[in-house]
Amino acid sequence: MFFKKLKECLTGITALWLMAWTGAVHAEWGLNLTRGVTPISHEVYDLHMLILWVVTIIGIGVFSVMFWSILHHRKSKGAVSAKFHHSTTAEIVWTIIPILILVGMAIPATKTLIKMEQTGDADMTIKVTGYQWKWKYDYMDDGLSFFSVLAQDSNDARQPGSNIDLNSIDHYLLDVDQPIVLPINKKIRILTTANDVIHAWWVPALGWKRDAIPGFINDNWIIIEEPGTYRGQCAELCGKDHGFMPIVVKAVPEEEYVAWVKKMKMAKAAAAASGDRDFSKDELMASGKELYSKNCAVCHMAEGQGIPGTFPALAGSAIATTPEGLPDHIDRILHGKNLMPPFGEQLSDADIAAVVTYERNAWGNDTGDVVQPKDIKAAR
Amino acid sequence: MSEAVIHNGHHDHHDHKPYGIGRWLFSTNHKDIGTMYLVFALIMFFVGGAMAMVIRAELFQPGLQFVNPLFFNSMTTIHALVMIFGAVMPAGVGLANWMIPMMIGSPDMALPRLNNMSFWILPFAFTLLLSTFFMPGGAPAGGWTMYPPLVLQLGDGFPFLIFAIHFLGISSILGAINIIATVFNMRAPGMTFMKLPLFVWTWIITAFLLIATMPVLAGSVTMLLTDKFFGTSFFSAAGGGDPVMFQHVFWFFGHPEVYILILPAFGIVSQIIPAFARKPLFGYESMVYATASIAFLSFFVWAHHMFTVGMPLTGELFFMYATMSIAVPTGVKIFNWVATMWKGSMTFETPMLFAVSFVVLFSIGGFTGLMMGITPVDFQYHDTYFIVAHFHYVLVPGAIFALMAGVYFWLPKWTGHMYDERLGKIHFWLSAIFVNMLFFPQHFLGLAGMPRRIPDYNVQFTEWNMVSSIGGFAFGLSQLILVWVVIKCVRGGQKATDQVWEGAHGLEWTLPSPPPFHSFTTPPQVTDATAHS
Amino acid sequence: MSESHSAYFIPEPSRWPIVGTLALFVSFIGGAIMLNGSGFGTFILGLGAGAIIYLFSGWFSDVICESIRGSYNRQVDTSFRWGMSWFIFSEVMFFAAFFGALFYARIYSVPWIGGEGAKLPTHEFLWPMFEAIWPLMTTPDATIEGGTTAYNQIKEVIPAWGVPAVNTLILLSSGVTVTLAHWSLKKNNRKGLCWWLFATVVLGFLFVTLQATEYAHAYHELGLKLSSGIYGSTFFMLTGFHGFHVTMGATMLTVILARSIKGHFTHENHFAFEAVAWYWHFVDVVWLGLFIFVYWL
Ligand code: HEA
Ligand code: HEA
Ligand code: CUA
Ligand SMILES: [Cu+2]
């Protein structure tokens, strides 16, 4: 094991040197802040470059003086130390000049900041809610609402010991199952909040990040000027899988956006219609397995073994194996308890029925129980 | 039980040292306690460093290699707590213990028993903290900033974390009280405030910061405790509180805390540069005022750590301006150091090398700090590796380098032997090269979009992470040289003179090397000639 | 520096600091285990608390011996003064954290949730029915339709002009009595010293008793508890920590009283007395802040 890692590391180092030699850099490789695609992000970028240059020049100035002195005023060169230890003029000069420079930077910064706070007269509003570890998007005007989680291929590859070549995956850790689609050239108001702990919604190309705080809502806005796909990540430590809750924004022309909304709505209606019927056990097990790995495995782990001390095991748990446990089992998923988040709002009756059925029949929990959507409806 | 009253003139029979383990456990001697502080700090530097090595190993390439995400977060969290509260602060107090009585001409610290307790709390507090690794739910993994509600999800380790913080707070407050009492009350005749060496000055101000902010930290974690166990709702909107309130209270402590880490470092550098430039410190008075202004301003900038929480506009503007203004007094310090070197007669022994590189590399960290102080841009920088690069520049080639400079500078005084200059220089050059390899690429990573506190990342970040990790391993290994130098120096070497360095001035250099058990049993008379260097 | 005959007193190596460290260590472990839900922890906490009492009596009796033996010169006395003043300042900052929480809740978080100021969408989308009134009787989560609340709702708060006002009087007059005791001591009037001290102690414990009955009343009849939302949280944390400090202060005053009766302290050398008096004035001032911002305004 260790030697394998070592070998990998060595290969890595070699690759690195080769790369440096040939200049074959990675496609998405960057050294600097992105310029972004919104008016604000451009201003922020310009500010960033401005301060960067200012401090670079100050730095070069100060250090040149210092290094000149280090080279020339050394004892080995026969330098004899002067006796001065004070100069009021110098002190005043090097107090005033920095103040002026700072004021020069503060003025444009203030202007940009004031602009960023102008969230009024938006064309549409999106509410973003952080969950451990996914995002929920509510289109307040179009009545759409969905969750967005790490894409399955990234999720498989990130498991320890998966041995999947990460370069074979498109946008490793930066891809989701359901991106948000937004129209370009519209002023979009983005409200951020959270359900459990603090998260932060950040897409660099949009020019800012904002904390999503449980119980409070923050107000922001964007106008995307170029169509494209923009990726970002949760930027506030939110627990175990903080590194695994990416954000993908797809900016499209308005007509495309309208069409997309229509499609989403139809899909939703279709799902709701099919949800009322009874399913076979196989159907439930199949969709339950998928739903489980998407929603539950982050905590209860792939084989239902949990993480001792933090997340209880479901394999062999009384709640998931005894008939008396069934009502609690459903209740726990619908309403949550302590650290267990409520899923009643996120998952449909059919989904929950599938997950419950799956959990009661997987990993040796062979109860044979089949739970149907109508059972869940009754328990709500 | 006999008294140890020291009578002027005939103190010789009191100069015996206690022996055995009791000498350390029950010590009331500032040098012994200082030594314990320094040794403890060094050990904790290695403990925290070992955790940093785990972090760097995991981040060497994308994919999860060595640890699971939760444990990774614990590594980040405990690494920071150990480095800040276990390495840098105790090292600073250790130097203060050793040097302040010698610099101001007093026999010992003002409250020697309290001094002992301040030290001994530390190992026990860290026992509390580190024991959480073996508890259900694991060690704290919510970041050293302990933001609720996340931190409230911690398992059995939670109350241990809180109590460890309380314990550390008690230690710091007692230590700080002692330093203030010592400097205000134990100065030798003629040692006026404006003759105090700058190291002493920076410590008075640091001690004040400690007394003003550690209780606030204690209060904030107490609220965490009651929110978790007693049903209060300080940090929950459902009960009328606000998770962000914790951040305000925490950073009211947290920002002054970073100056607690750096001001003693400023003091050390202000002792060393004049000594090796063989020229008095330029602008002594403005150095004192600048330090005091930095400390004063540090109480009004805390919210620059939380620009993204969505404060009202006026708040964001206020904290931006206040943050930017700190660049002015800090600039004064930098310029004064440069002016001290100007037209000096410089030599570059190891302490000076560390001090000079401190000036440059700390400034780089300061510059990025200023960039993050600009609110609208911090919306981009916040919680990325750009921040990680910033604070490691001010902390590692900043605080740690200055502490090392101090150790090399005073080691001959403490042990009576010169250290191995060749090894010292090797240690310096390796450290200086690799620390940049370690932290400079993190600026690029942050700007390119890599968030901090993540165990795994997109492949686009691979190259710079590899560079950083290699730099990290090499930097870590280089630190073994320091241990070697210290051990070698303690065990023997060329005899050190009293003054040790040609350009060193001040009371501490009038004592023999090593100094007697009780530094100045007869208070020396201080004149302009024997005052600060 | 001082005209005194001896140089600065450096104590011999002492076991008290390490005993103190261990006592705190054991208490913390016990407390933590207790909070994690094991009764065993309570036992350890008890041991720790016992050790702390042992520590204080031991350490202070050493100090008293040294003081009586005349080991302390003027300069040592000054060190103690610096030490005590900065210790009290650190206590002030501890309370500042909780006052900060109170002001934050009153000026920011509660109004925000109620729809005032900068966070309008918070109110609109999350807590539409919540009204920001202080004292906060109904927690935001109780205003959500069909929701359940995790907190106690308050029926009534404690009015400022009842027991709290009486308590204010009590504490203020205890500040006067302790000063009178000090004057008596300075005039070498031992009898006055003891009686005024005694009065102070009585007032101190009277305050604590009244406070305890108020707590019982709040818990049993008013529905005002630690878990009554942010009002209850700030109320009990502030008054609770204050009450704890009063208890400590009154206990220290009792010790000082006992020592006075035994004939300790001279009219010019009585730092222990003054330290406790300072401490007492400090709890006094904190109470004034509490009375104004917690009960009254
Ligand atoms: C020793 C510790 C130390 C020091 C000294 C500093 C110094 C400064 N820091 Fe830093 N900081 C940290 C430790 C430190 N910091 C840590 C640990 C964190 C992260 C905490 C966490 O989240 O975990 C942090 C985070 C942090 C943030 C939050 C970023 C974020 O999370 O979004 C900000 C924002 O303003 C900031 C700003 C500053 C500034 C303006 C200074 C100034 O004091 C710097 C002043 C110095 C200079 C400017 C250079 C020299 C000056 C001149 C040569 C004069 C001329 C210059 C000009 C006119 C430009 N710091
Ligand atoms: C004084 C404080 C201090 C110091 C000295 C350091 C020193 C180092 N830090 Fe740390 N660090 C912080 C304070 C500090 N740090 C803080 C406050 C955070 C934020 C935490 C948070 O987000 O909550 C942080 C976070 C942090 C991160 C980000 C983690 C994350 O966001 O997930 C990283 C990653 O590279 C890192 C690396 C390092 C490295 C490589 C060193 C090196 O300088 C360490 C070098 C020392 C040694 C290595 C030990 C000595 C040598 C040996 C033990 C010999 C054996 C060596 C080998 C096996 C190679 N630190
Ligand atoms: Cu969500 Cu980090
Ligand atoms: Cu700061």
pLDDT of residue B155: 87
My answer on whether A374 and A307 are in the same domain is yes
Q: Could you tell me what percentage of chain B is helix, strand and coil, using 3-state DSSP and rounding each to the nearest 5?
A: 70, 0, 25
Q: Which residue of B has its CA nearest to A298?
A: B69
Q: Which long-range contacts (CB under 8 A, 24 or more apart) does A320-323 make?
A: A320/A359, A320/A360, A320/A365, A320/A367, A321/A360, A321/A365, A321/A367, A323/A367, A323/A369
Residue A20: pLDDT band by 50, 70, 90 thresholds? very low
My answer on whether C24 and C154 are in the same domain is no
Work out the average pLDDT over B415-436.
94
Nearest to residue A142, comparing CAs of A198, A178, A183?
A: A183
Whether a cis peptide bond, with omega within 30° of 0, leads into B149 is yes
Does residue B394's CB lie within 6 angstroms of at least one atom of ligand 1?
Answer: yes
Residues of A with CB under 8 A from a CB of C: 127, 191, 193, 215-219
Residue A48 counted as domain residue: yes
My answer on whether A153 and A202 are in the same domain is yes
Measured in Å, residue B81 CA sits from the centre of ligand 1 at 19
Residue A165 has pLDDT above 50, yes or no: yes
Residue C120: pLDDT band by 50, 70, 90 thresholds? confident
Atom of ligand 1 nearest to the CA of B144: 23
My answer on whether C23 and C123 are in the same domain is no
Task: Respond yes or no on whether ipTM tops 0.95.
Answer: no
Task: Indicate yes or no: CB of B242 within 8 angstroms of CB of C112.
Answer: yes
pLDDT of residue B178: 94
My answer on whether C61 and C88 are in the same domain is no
Residue B530: pLDDT band by 50, 70, 90 thresholds? low
Residue A222 counted as domain residue: yes
My answer on whether A226 and A212 are in the same domain is yes
Measured in Å, residue A135 CA sits from the centre of ligand 3 at 9
pLDDT of residue A87: 87
How many other CB atoms are there within 10 angstroms of residue B485's CB atom? 24
Residue to mutate, B83, B205, B294, B305, ligand 1, most ligand atoms under 8 Å from C-beta = B305
Contact at 8 Å (CB) between A158 and A174? no
C153 φ/ψ sector (left φ>0, alpha ψ -120 to 50, else beta): beta
Residue A30 has pLDDT above 60, yes or no: yes
Which of C27, C54, C72 corresponds to the end of one domain?
A: C72
A118 to A159, A184, B75, B170, B399: CA distances (angstroms): 43, 19, 40, 46, 41
C287 to B147, B444, C8, C166, C292: CA distances (angstroms): 30, 53, 38, 12, 8
Residue A357 counted as domain residue: yes
Which residues of B are part of the catalytic machinery? 79, 108, 144, 171-172, 255, 257, 259, 270, 304-305, 330, 333, 452
Q: Which residues contact B242 (CB under 8 A, 6 or more apart)?
A: A213, A215, A216, B235, C104, C105, C108, C109, C112
Work out the average pLDDT over A57-63.
94
My answer on whether C36 and C162 are in the same domain is no
Chain B residues whose CB is inside 8 A of the A117 CB are 313
Does residue B144's CB lie within 6 angstroms of at least one atom of ligand 2?
Answer: yes
Structure tokens at A356: 């419950």
More confident residue, A9 or A257: A257
Q: Is C119 on the interface with A (CB under 8 A)?
A: yes
- Residue bearing the CA closest to ligand 1, atom 35: B373
Task: Indicate yes or no: CB of A217 within 8 angstroms of CB of C140.
Answer: no
Task: Indicate yes or no: CB of B237 within 8 angstroms of CB of C233.
Answer: no
Residue A25 has pLDDT above 50, yes or no: no
Work out the average pLDDT over C70-97.
89
A27 to A24, A151, C176, C179, C218: CA distances (angstroms): 9, 21, 78, 78, 66
pLDDT of residue A84: 83
Q: Could you tell me what percentage of chain C is helix, strand and coil, using 3-state DSSP and rounding each to the nearest 5?
A: 75, 0, 25
Q: Is C10 on the interface with B (CB under 8 A)?
A: yes
CATH for C201: 1.20.120.80
pLDDT of residue A242: 94
Relative to the alpha carbon of A213, which ligand is closest?
3
My answer on whether C96 and C157 are in the same domain is yes
Pairing of strands A228-234, A144-148: unpaired
Work out the average pLDDT over B430-438.
95
Distance separating alpha carbons of residues B404 and C270, to the nearest angstrom: 45
Residue B531: pLDDT band by 50, 70, 90 thresholds? low
How many domains, in total, are found in chain C?
2
Relative to the alpha carbon of A136, which ligand is closest?
3
Atom of ligand 1 nearest to the CA of A55: 59
pLDDT tens-digit series, residues A300-328: 888 888 887 778 888 888 888 888 888 88
Atom of ligand 3 nearest to the CA of A243: 2
Instruction: Tally helices (H) and strands (E) across chain B.
Output: 17, 0
Residue B303 has pLDDT above 70, yes or no: yes
% pLDDT > 70, chain A: 92
Considering only CB atoms, C13 lies closest to which of B27, B106, B521, namely B27
My answer on whether C113 and C209 are in the same domain is yes
Residue A16: pLDDT band by 50, 70, 90 thresholds? very low
Amino acid identity at B457:
Y
Helix (H) or strand (E) holding B90: helix B89-104
More confident residue, C120 or A137: A137
Pairing of strands A218-222, A208-212: unpaired
The number of CA neighbours under 13 Å toward the Cβ of A358 is: 23
Contact at 8 Å (CB) between A76 and A123? no
| Lowest model confidence (mean pLDDT) among A270-279, B431-440, C2-11, C263-272 | C2-11
Residue A81 counted as domain residue: no
Distance separating alpha carbons of residues B463 and B460, to the nearest angstrom: 8
List, in sequence order, every residue forming a beta bridge with A233; answer none if it has no partner: A202, A246
pLDDT of residue C106: 92
- Residue bearing the CA closest to ligand 1, atom 44: B366
On the 0-12 / 13-18 / 19+ scale of CB atoms within 10 A, A63 is middle
* Global pTM value: 0.92
Amino acid identity at B253:
F
Task: Indicate yes or no: CB of A13 within 8 angstroms of CB of B321.
Answer: no
Chain C residues whose CB is inside 8 A of the A218 CB are 119
Contact at 8 Å (CB) between B386 and B451? no
Task: Supply the angle between the helices A349-361 and A325-335 in degrees, to the nearest 10.
Answer: 130
Structural domain span for residue A264:
124-160+171-272
My answer on whether A255 and A280 are in the same domain is no
- Give the ranges where A23-87 is alpha helix by DSSP (H): 39-72
My answer on whether A302 and A259 are in the same domain is no
pLDDT of residue A223: 94
How many other CB atoms are there within 10 angstroms of residue B269's CB atom? 30
Strand ranges (E), chain A: 124-131, 134-139, 144-148, 180-183, 188-194, 199-203, 208-212, 218-222, 228-234, 246-252
How many domains, in total, are found in chain A?
4
Distance separating alpha carbons of residues C91 and C93, to the nearest angstrom: 5
Contact at 8 Å (CB) between B329 and B297? yes
CATH for C9: 1.10.287.70
Residue C283: pLDDT band by 50, 70, 90 thresholds? very high
My answer on whether C46 and C182 are in the same domain is no
pLDDT tens-digit series, residues C252-262: 999 999 988 88
Distance separating alpha carbons of residues A328 and A320, to the nearest angstrom: 9
Work out the average pLDDT over B509-519.
86
Residue A80 counted as domain residue: no
My answer on whether C202 and C123 are in the same domain is yes
Distance separating alpha carbons of residues B288 and B342, to the nearest angstrom: 20
Residue A224 counted as domain residue: yes
Residue A15: pLDDT band by 50, 70, 90 thresholds? very low
My answer on whether A143 and A193 are in the same domain is yes
Atom of ligand 1 nearest to the CA of B308: 32
List, in sequence order, every residue forming a beta bridge with B72; answer none if it has no partner: none
Q: Is B496 helix (H, G, I), strand (E, B) or coil?
A: coil
Structural domain span for residue C191:
73-297
Residue A8: pLDDT band by 50, 70, 90 thresholds? low
Chain C residues whose CB is inside 8 A of the A216 CB are 112-113, 119, 122, 126
Residue C6: pLDDT band by 50, 70, 90 thresholds? low
Residue B16: pLDDT band by 50, 70, 90 thresholds? low
Does residue A70's CB lie within 6 angstroms of at least one atom of ligand 1?
Answer: no
Work out the average pLDDT over A352-378.
85
Contact at 8 Å (CB) between A191 and A125? yes
Chain B residues whose CB is inside 8 A of the A307 CB are 70
My answer on whether A211 and A141 are in the same domain is yes
Work out the average pLDDT over A154-181.
87
Distance separating alpha carbons of residues A281 and B358, to the nearest angstrom: 69
Distance separating alpha carbons of residues B269 and B361, to the nearest angstrom: 13
Distance separating alpha carbons of residues B275 and B407, to the nearest angstrom: 15
Nearest to residue B255, comparing CAs of B209, B201, B215, B200?
A: B209
Relative to the alpha carbon of A197, which ligand is closest?
3
- Residue bearing the CA closest to ligand 1, atom 24: B391
Work out the average pLDDT over C125-144.
86
pLDDT tens-digit series, residues C26-39: 999 999 999 998 88
pLDDT tens-digit series, residues A203-224: 999 999 999 999 999 999 999 9
pLDDT of residue B243: 95
Residue A380: pLDDT band by 50, 70, 90 thresholds? confident
Kindly report the average pLDDT of chain B as a whole number: 91
My answer on whether C267 and C209 are in the same domain is yes
Chain A residues whose CB is inside 8 A of the C126 CB are 193, 215-217
Residue A227 counted as domain residue: yes
pLDDT of residue B347: 92
Residue B528: pLDDT band by 50, 70, 90 thresholds? low
Residue C280 has pLDDT above 60, yes or no: yes
Q: Is A230 helix (H, G, I), strand (E, B) or coil?
A: strand
| Lowest model confidence (mean pLDDT) among A286-290, B3-7, B247-251, C163-167 | B3-7
pLDDT of residue B529: 58
pLDDT tens-digit series, residues A349-358: 888 888 888 9
CATH for A299: 1.10.760.10
Structure tokens at B432: 């200086």
Task: Indicate yes or no: CB of B310 within 8 angstroms of CB of A216.
Answer: yes
Which of C72, C98, C131 corresponds to the end of one domain?
A: C72
My answer on whether A235 and A190 are in the same domain is yes
% pLDDT > 90, chain A: 43
Task: Indicate yes or no: CB of A31 within 8 angstroms of CB of B137.
Answer: no
Which of A228, A250, A272 corresponds to the end of one domain?
A: A272
My answer on whether C32 and C103 are in the same domain is no
On the 0-12 / 13-18 / 19+ scale of CB atoms within 10 A, A143 is exposed
Distance separating alpha carbons of residues A171 and A28, to the nearest angstrom: 10
Distance separating alpha carbons of residues A177 and B100, to the nearest angstrom: 62
Residue A10 has pLDDT above 60, yes or no: no
Work out the average pLDDT over B210-227.
96
Rounded (5°) CA angle A309-A313-A319? 120
My answer on whether A24 and A54 are in the same domain is no
pLDDT of residue A275: 65
Residue B2 has pLDDT above 60, yes or no: no
Work out the average pLDDT over A102-115.
94
Q: Is A193 helix (H, G, I), strand (E, B) or coil?
A: strand
- Residue bearing the CA closest to ligand 1, atom 2: B258
Does residue A199's CB lie within 6 angstroms of at least one atom of ligand 3?
Answer: yes
Sign (positive/negative) of CA torsion A210, B64, A346, A276? positive
My answer on whether A306 and A355 are in the same domain is yes
pLDDT of residue B318: 95
Whether a cis peptide bond, with omega within 30° of 0, leads into B523 is no
Work out the average pLDDT over A360-374.
84
My answer on whether A211 and A331 are in the same domain is no
Residue B375 has pLDDT above 60, yes or no: yes
Residue B422 has pLDDT above 80, yes or no: yes
Residue C251 has pLDDT above 90, yes or no: yes
Task: Indicate yes or no: CB of A215 within 8 angstroms of CB of C119.
Answer: no
Q: Is C9 helix (H, G, I), strand (E, B) or coil?
A: strand
Q: Which residue of A has its CA nearest to B461?
A: A29
My answer on whether A260 and A360 are in the same domain is no
Residue A26 has pLDDT above 50, yes or no: no
Residue A165 counted as domain residue: no
pLDDT tens-digit series, residues B337-367: 999 999 989 999 999 999 999 999 999 999 9
Q: Which residue of A has its CA nearest to B353?
A: A70
Distance separating alpha carbons of residues C6 and C77, to the nearest angstrom: 13
My answer on whether C195 and C276 are in the same domain is yes
Atom of ligand 1 nearest to the CA of B395: 1
Work out the average pLDDT over C188-199.
90
3-class SS string, B267-310: HHHHHHHHHHHCCCCCCHHHHHHHHHHHHHHHHHCHHHHHHHHC
Which of C57, C72, C87 corresponds to the end of one domain?
A: C72
My answer on whether C135 and C4 are in the same domain is no
